[in-house]
Amino acid sequence: RPGPGVAMTSELDIFVGNTTLIDEDVYRLWLDGYSVSDAVALRVRSGILEQTGATAAALLIERYYAFDEAFVREVLGKKLSKGTKKDLDDISTKTGITLKSCRRQFDNFKRVFKVVEEMRGSLVDNIQQHFLLSDRLARDYAAIVFFANNRFETGKKKLQYLSFGDFAFCAELMIQNWTLGAVDPQADDMDMDLDKEFLQDLKELKVLVADKDLLDLHKSLVCTALRGKLGVFSEMEANFKNLSRGLVNVAAKLTHNKDVRDLFVDLVEKFVEPCRSDHWPLNDVRLFLNQYSASVHSLDGFRHQALWDRYMGTLRGCLLRLCHD
């Protein structure tokens, strides 16, 4: 029935299809203005899952929040803002993903980010519980949120060989070891923000390359342990100091936001590309990083062992993941 001032019309819209079922409770939540995530949370608290025998990882929810690898690689690390949303037309053309799907995926990323950015507790758990996602999808969204929050650069040409899975793997390691939540479970934004005090302390590691005696001893320890075990031993021995300076200088620069954003660019430039140019097998990379990390514990006069382990424990895992064609 038209309201006051609305002209009558003889046109009639007709819907033809199968029987349409409307859940009146869900319809009421929509009428009352609840967001999707809040409406889901209310329904869960009402006990609807137990009544219907459904599971938290409901198929429709998983499909709605699923995303395309090609799309997430285009927006990973970018600010989830109107500026980025304006680029969706170009992303749609470049990837072949429909604009409608691009908008849905972007809005999902932004929605999850907005909901969890002020929440305490585990980022993965918060996403999983609030949006009823499976563990794997919740971990993927945690990586997306983490990269958006810290604005890591992922779009450079030299990083195009890396998949979303590569970045998500590194994000999980950093969340577990380099964030506020890694040392203080009660911290605000615990799994989203890198621990600034930890990043400041990383400058102390420069002594490993600034002190010539320490640098020489570190090299000697690594070479003694790996002689006869590496196929690229001579290349490693010749390039040890450059590799070590690269890895330590990456740590020392993380006090600046720009250098945090360029972390993956620096790791590829300072370590992955030199190893690639000398044709290091992955197992040689693994043996080197393990010994390079462990040998520091035998350096007399070096007093930052715990800091070194927190840094290299994560970096070693990331570098092994990044070292592929």
* pLDDT score recorded for residue 57: 45
Residues 6+ apart with CB under 8 A from 295: 218, 221, 222, 225
pLDDT of residue 40: 74
Residue 46 confidence (pLDDT): 75
Cβ proximity of 175 and 142 under 8 Å: yes
What pLDDT sits at residue 38?
75
Output the pLDDT for position 74.
Answer: 96
d(C-alpha 81, C-alpha 87), whole Å: 10
pLDDT in tens, the chain (325 residues): 444 444 445 555 555 555 555 667 777 777 777 776 677 777 777 776 656 555 544 877 888 999 999 999 999 999 999 889 999 999 999 999 999 999 999 999 999 999 998 888 889 999 998 998 999 999 999 999 999 999 999 999 999 999 999 999 999 999 999 998 877 666 555 678 899 999 999 999 999 999 999 999 999 999 999 999 999 999 999 999 999 999 999 999 999 999 999 999 999 999 999 999 999 999 999 999 999 999 999 998 899 999 999 999 999 999 999 999 8
Tokens linked to 111: 């929605």
pLDDT, position 180: 84
**Residue pair 246/191 in contact by the 8 Å Cβ criterion:** no
Among the listed residues 234, 308, 319, the one whose alpha carbon sits nearest the alpha carbon of residue 272: 319
Nearest Cα to Cα of residue 208 among 216, 197, 200, 198: 216
Q: What does the pLDDT read at residue 8? A: 47
Per-residue confidence (pLDDT) for residue 51, from 0 to 100: 60
Given this model, what pLDDT does residue 13 score? 55
**pTM tops 0.85:** no
Report the residue count for the chain.
325
**Single-letter code of the amino acid located at 237:** E
The pLDDT value recorded for residue 14 is 52
Query: Cβ distance 120 to 188 under 8 Å?
Result: yes
Given this model, what pLDDT does residue 33 score?
A: 77
Sign of CA dihedral 106, 138, 310, 271: negative
Which of 123, 122, 162 minimizes the C-alpha distance to 144?
Answer: 123
